[in-house]
Structure 1
């Protein structure tokens, strides 16, 4: 049995894993679902945060576990788990990128998004008054294309503004730490937040030992939780 640490993406919180967590637990696994600072039930002001704070939150979770974990990152959470693995490579059994940003050293989330002709996130970003954070219009089309009306409505009430630093902070990883942790990728073919070509392009530069393909939108934790949980168990 494994311990899974599930890291949500931008705008979301630990709540997005609510359908997947019990499925993994029913299969006998331990599951930890942290809120990144400023997300979910964590009320830290975004003005006080940095990408390092996101990574530090996950590193603390890794340090609290009795054994190395399967560390799963969705979307922007992919960047966060890379940083956490860089800091604690011996605490991670495997990295799993769920339609996640798998970035080379020095690259930013924005550097991928700007060249992603299949994604519709950037045209739907809405900055706050000082440009320090963004919300998203048309969330059904962007994130939840194949999700139920009820799931979309519930998510709408829980999404939070995402700080601008999430898009422009370069990832800092090395081959000696991050690079020695086994990694897998779960691609989502119908994704409009990170297009399938962008997902595959990132893997061309940083190959993964295992790739699983799902025919879903950006949010299989809502639209296909049983299938997703099955893939995670198999990858573990």
Structure 2
């Protein structure tokens, strides 16, 4: 069964699949790290992309991942993309994880997940200032518990996304599989109150809290890997029972 299982990772906005490297080395299974379009190629490259363009690119990345069973692990805005991938993979999907992930109501956008007044302010900010925050904002919001080397990497590699990644509505389907939500209690980007609502939207009763900022795969990869390995084991056991 181990050889048949693949772990699929989806990162958040502005980031890249490099964030999973330390975590991946602590997992026991084959992995595929989805990459958003046009990483590190300038601030305007993605400006005309729609949310569906991101979904299409992510799904195309899965074509070479020939595994019979897949667990989808998402982070932040990657939650929206991950739900669409899980639906596309259908019965191959045996587990879904949200790590501080955005899980909107069906037919809504990422922005709809934010508390008032942020959900009103963010589209205006992006309209005038773009989607790449100043260095100080990235450091405070994404990197509050990272070491200096990690902070430098996140800041230097941060890629501007299309505004539509945040604002386009998406029809989503919550998968009827084993689910886990990892709640990040020191997250400066996504408040715990929002994360609790996201777990509820995911219809997820299996919630684990982690003392981490927004990027636990960088700050506490061993602790996160322990949580994920336990969840993966449960998914495999349940799948074996059901088949």
TM-score (norm 2): 0.82
Structure exhibiting the larger radius of gyration computed from Cα positions: 2
Q: Deviations over 1:9-31 (max 9, x none)?
A: 0000111112111121xx3x101
Runs of at least 5 residues in structure 2 that lack an aligned partner in the other structure: 233-243
Q: Deviations over 1:157-188 (max 9, x none)?
A: 101112101111112123xxx43233211110
Give 2:186's match in structure 1, choosing from 187, 190, 199. 190
Cα distance in 1 for partners of 2:44, 2:89 equals 24
Runs of at least 5 residues in structure 1 that lack an aligned partner in the other structure: none
- Per the alignment, do residues 127 and 103 of structure 1 end up closer, same or farther by CA in structure 2, a change over 3 Å counting? closer
Instruction: Check the 8 A contact 1:190/1:218 in 2, yes or no.
Output: yes
Mapping of residues 167-178 of structure 1, within 5 Å: 167-174=166-173, 178=174
Q: Post-superposition shift, 1:44?
A: 9.8
Count matched residues: 225
Match of residue 55 from structure 1: 55
Cα distance in 1 for partners of 2:53, 2:131 equals 18
- Per the alignment, do residues 97 and 42 of structure 1 end up closer, same or farther by CA in structure 2, a change over 3 Å counting? farther
Cα distance in 2 for partners of 1:33, 1:161 equals 19
- Larger fraction in helix: 2
Cα distance in 1 for partners of 2:71, 2:156 equals 29
Q: Matched residue of 1:162: which SS?
A: coil
Instruction: Check the 8 A contact 1:38/1:46 in 2, yes or no.
Output: yes
Give 1:6's match in structure 2, choosing from 2, 6, 9. 9
Cα distance in 2 for partners of 1:23, 1:40 equals 26
Cα distance in 2 for partners of 1:223, 1:206 equals 25
Match of residue 175 from structure 2: 179
Q: Deviations over 1:207-231 (max 9, x none)?
A: 2142111011001011101011111
Cα distance in 2 for partners of 1:127, 1:44 equals 13
Q: Matched residue of 2:131: which SS?
A: strand
Output the aligned Cα RMSD.
Answer: 2.7
Instruction: Check the 8 A contact 1:216/1:224 in 2, yes or no.
Output: yes
Residue 18 (1) aligns with residue 17 (2): no
- Per the alignment, do residues 184 and 231 of structure 1 end up closer, same or farther by CA in structure 2, a change over 3 Å counting? same
Q: Matched residue of 2:171: which SS?
A: coil
Q: Matched residue of 2:26: which SS?
A: helix
TM-score (norm 1): 0.85
Mapping of residues 108-123 of structure 1, within 5 Å: 108-115=109-116, 122=122
Q: Post-superposition shift, 1:85?
A: 1.7
Cα distance in 1 for partners of 2:158, 2:115 equals 23
- Per the alignment, do residues 150 and 233 of structure 1 end up closer, same or farther by CA in structure 2, a change over 3 Å counting? same
Cα distance in 2 for partners of 1:115, 1:39 equals 30
- Per the alignment, do residues 32 and 206 of structure 1 end up closer, same or farther by CA in structure 2, a change over 3 Å counting? closer
Cα distance in 2 for partners of 1:42, 1:89 equals 35
Match of residue 225 from structure 1: 221
Match of residue 142 from structure 1: 141
Instruction: Check the 8 A contact 1:62/1:69 in 2, yes or no.
Output: no
